[in-house]
């Protein structure tokens, strides 16, 4: 099993504060006999009695390593692969990349990074580390 990101529990608490029920930690997917994928969190939230549940998967990234761009490359690759597997196995679940507010306001504000995120249609969950709260859902 892979190691949890340093902000894993922070994001989990932020989601719970926002009314989400964490139903899988981690979310385990097995798209083929040789491939298994662990996405950090699987969560659900009751929208209304008529509309049912909203389901999400959240991959948490801290971006605290030596190379932010290298970590971004890894995150983009994971996001793309995870989204493809979710489309096949759990198409009702929406994938989000969770990033801290300081990283979002600096690195993710760069125009090239924004173009990449937009072209790949990446959804972001931006969180406050100290408050353990969600700052922004970026569709």
Query: For 38-92, how does the pLDDT look when each residue is reduced to its tens digit (9 = 90+)?
Result: 999 999 998 765 567 899 999 999 999 899 999 999 999 999 999 999 999 999 9
Cβ distance 82 to 57 under 8 Å? yes
**Residue at 115 is within a domain:** yes
Cα-based distances in Å from 38 to 45, 47, 79: 21, 26, 12
**Residue 34's domain is classified under what CATH number?**
3.40.1350.10
**Residue at 3 is within a domain:** no
Give me the domain span that covers residue 126. Answer: 8-138
Number of domains in the chain: 1
Quick check: 110 pLDDT over 90?
yes
**Residue at 1 is within a domain:** no
Burial letters 85-121, b for 16+ CB under 10 A, else e: bbeeebeebebbbbbbbebbeeebeeeebeeebeeee
Name residues whose C-beta falls within 8 Å of residue 75's C-beta, 6 or more positions apart in sequence. 59, 61, 97
**Residue at 108 is within a domain:** yes
pLDDT at 15: 97
């Amino acid at each position: 099993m892979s190691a949890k990101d340093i902000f894993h529990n922070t994001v989990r608490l932020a989601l719970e504060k926002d009314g989400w029920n964490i139903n899988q930690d981690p979310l385990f997917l097995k798209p083929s006999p040789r491939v298994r994928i662990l996405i950090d969190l699987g969560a659900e939230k009751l929208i209304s009695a008529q509309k049912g549940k909203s389901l999400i998967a959240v991959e948490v990234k801290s971006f605290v390593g030596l190379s932010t761009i290298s970590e971004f490359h890894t995150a983009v690759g994971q996001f793309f692969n995870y989204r493809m597997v979710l489309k096949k196995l759990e198409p009702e679940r929406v994938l989000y990349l969770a990033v801290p507010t300081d990283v979002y306001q600096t690195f993710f504000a760069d125009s090239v990074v924004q173009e990449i995120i937009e072209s790949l249609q990446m959804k972001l969950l931006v969180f406050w580390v100290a408050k353990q709260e969600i700052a922004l859902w970026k569709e």
